[in-house]
Structure 1
Amino acid sequence: MERLEVRELVYFTAVAEELHFGRAAARLGMAQPPLSRAIQQLERRLGVPLLERGGHRIALTEAGAVLLRESRTVLDAASAAAHRTRRAGRTDPSLVLVIKPGGDGGLLPAILDAYQAEPDALPVELVCSFGERETLLREGRADAALLHLPHHDLTGLDTQDLLTETQLLVMPRSHRLAGRARVCLDDFAGEPLPRWPGASEDASQGPEVHDLGQLLHLIALGRMVAVLPASIRGQLRDDLVAVPVDDAEPTTLVLAWPEHATSPALAAFVRAAAAVADKATGQGG
């Protein structure tokens, strides 16, 4: 069986992402000649060309594109394994939960209370993040996260649905639509919307938002409007208005965690969250 070394994948990923041996070598903190030799040796071992070399330009072959995709997966998994191993060896273990401020559907206090009654419960460390919560899971920096469908990529994660909500347009009381009972997406098309951390810049979007207080303040100042789950109503300021968006796709709050996780503490947290959600939505026995 052909086994690739992590070092080879690190070298190849740098070259494939930079598409320039000099920049890749600088990124890796090494000289260019040994890097070039390492990639050539990798191509010989695999028996396929990974790069198309022409003059001063290089490009990925089809095989190279496949190896880049697979290398990223392997390197992410290796990094996550290191993070989880270090955390597992701590003398004060905890369960790290990543949340979006104001994005728990009002369920989190009851979930935390129910979890503490579980025999396998650990202290819960809350990490607030407006962006890339699923990335923290994949990197091994968190055990679970509250995410929203359809907005997050759940590849490689297991999930438990908690709450499905309609969406509201949140705007200042002075907004032209503030007196409406209901709106449609076309009614505010072209108006600036929040730009979440990690999202690509778009001239049609408003400033990048990092927390709920900042978001609501920018809306009140007329810098943007936002489409948010209906549970946000209870957290709105007096100078803001929220009305239903009839044709906005409902959002589903989910609890997510890495596939194949075997932690008893995590399993207990999932049970507690599911029980609270069932009770809140009237599905409990």
Structure 2
Amino acid sequence: METRELRYFVAVAEELHFGRAAQRLGIAQPPLSRAIRQLERRLGVTLLERTSRSVTLTEAGSVLLVEGRAALDAVDAADRRTRRAALASTGRPALVLVTKAGAAGELLPKLLDAYAAEPGAVTVDVLLCGVGEQERLLRDGRADVALLHLPFDSTTGLDTEELRTEGQVVVLPAGHPLARRAHLRMADVAALPGLPMPRWPSSDGTYPDGPGPQVRDHAQLLQLIALGRASAILPESCRVHLRRDLAAVPVLDAPAVTTVIAWPPHSRSLALAGLVRAATRL
């Protein structure tokens, strides 16, 4: 299979419409249809069921959609990492570290300071992202290394080192009656009147159903909590940057959160190795 054919197929499979897929790809519809038929002949399977009114995926087509996306992501990641390696070889080496905005607490500045003191340290560009995005940015090659959080992020296929494990707290408006409690339990948090949990977007940008407000980033979440519109369960390290109008109460039975530093297993970057060493020493 050719990369071009995979891109064509993924576009049709996602749009389920040849006209829209052709427009998305910037090509005419006839050559797109020919390319898909050629791909089906080469594989010896039917990927799409076509009628005059609809296009649907066959079981084989559904499998190729999943595998094709992964293959194209790997190609794009290889492209980005190769270009960055070329920049490094011309005397402009840098690492891109991605982390969820507001999640690293005091760990991130300590890590950057520790690494900067290493012999041969290079520039570290920090990429702050929304919830759940750091794993994708690492896997698709836009970042060299990431701070991920278990059990929420997947580290399958990545090399990792554990940095710390911590409990979780519920963040409430400072004036809330429960803000003075020494600790709470998950059942107490679930029963909070008028302070629903936020709804974060999924990988496709849609929000799950529920009573909580739609939230895009950490700053927006803290503002909503301060206004008495939401509450949130966050790692205990979030206390470092909490505003005065917010309070954090430990949740005894909330799952522990482990912060790991993660990177692609095939990386041969000496700069990355130095950053990981500095992280583990912390």
Do these two structures clear the TM 0.5 threshold for a shared fold by scoring above it? Answer: yes
Quick check: 2:105–2:240 contact (8 Å CA) kept in 1? no
Matches for 1:195-274 after TM superposition, within 5 Å: 195-198=199-202, 200-201=206-207, 202-212=209-219, 214-274=220-280
Query: Paired residue for 1:275, among 266, 278, 281?
Result: 281
Query: Paired residue for 1:67, among 55, 58, 64?
Result: 64
Deviates more, 1:115-124 or 1:245-254: 115-124
Matches for 1:1-285 after TM superposition, within 5 Å: 4-90=1-87, 91=90, 92-131=92-131, 132-189=133-190, 191-198=195-202, 200-201=206-207, 202-212=209-219, 214-276=220-282
Task: Find the aligned partners of 2:23 and 2:237 in 1 and give their Cα distance.
Answer: 49
Task: Find the aligned partners of 2:23 and 2:103 in 1 and give their Cα distance.
Answer: 41
Quick check: 1:163–1:254 contact (8 Å CA) kept in 2? yes
Please state how far the C-alpha of 1:45 moved relative to its aligned partner: 0.6
Please state how far the C-alpha of 1:211 moved relative to its aligned partner: 3.6
Computed over aligned residues only, the root mean square deviation of the Cα atoms, in angstroms, reads 1.9
Task: Find the aligned partners of 2:251 and 2:78 in 1 and give their Cα distance.
Answer: 42
Deviates more, 1:261-270 or 1:45-54: 45-54
Structure 2: runs of 5 or more not aligned: none
SS where residue 168 of structure 1 aligns? strand
SS where residue 95 of structure 1 aligns? strand
Quick check: 1:120–1:264 contact (8 Å CA) kept in 2? no
Task: Find the aligned partners of 1:234 and 1:228 in 2 and give their Cα distance.
Answer: 12
Deviates more, 1:98-107 or 1:68-77: 98-107
Task: Find the aligned partners of 1:229 and 1:219 in 2 and give their Cα distance.
Answer: 16
Task: Find the aligned partners of 1:264 and 1:253 in 2 and give their Cα distance.
Answer: 22
Please state how far the C-alpha of 1:22 moved relative to its aligned partner: 1.4
Identity of aligned residues (%): 59
Quick check: 2:170–2:189 contact (8 Å CA) kept in 1? no
Task: Find the aligned partners of 2:52 and 2:214 in 1 and give their Cα distance.
Answer: 42
SS where residue 178 of structure 1 aligns? helix
User: Could you tell me which amino acid in structure 1 is paired with residue 216 of structure 2?
Assistant: V
Q: What is the total number of aligned residue pairs between the two structures?
A: 272
Task: Find the aligned partners of 2:212 and 2:29 in 1 and give their Cα distance.
Answer: 41
Task: Find the aligned partners of 1:94 and 1:211 in 2 and give their Cα distance.
Answer: 27
TM-score scaled to structure 2, two decimals? 0.89
Task: Find the aligned partners of 1:128 and 1:197 in 2 and give their Cα distance.
Answer: 16
User: Could you tell me which amino acid in structure 2 is paired with residue 204 of structure 1?
Assistant: P
Structure 1: runs of 5 or more not aligned: 277-285
TM-score scaled to structure 1, two decimals? 0.89
Seen in structure 2, the aligned counterparts of structure 1 residues 272 and 194 have a Cα distance that, compared at 3 Å, is same
Deviates more, 1:200-209 or 1:37-46: 200-209
SS where residue 87 of structure 1 aligns? helix
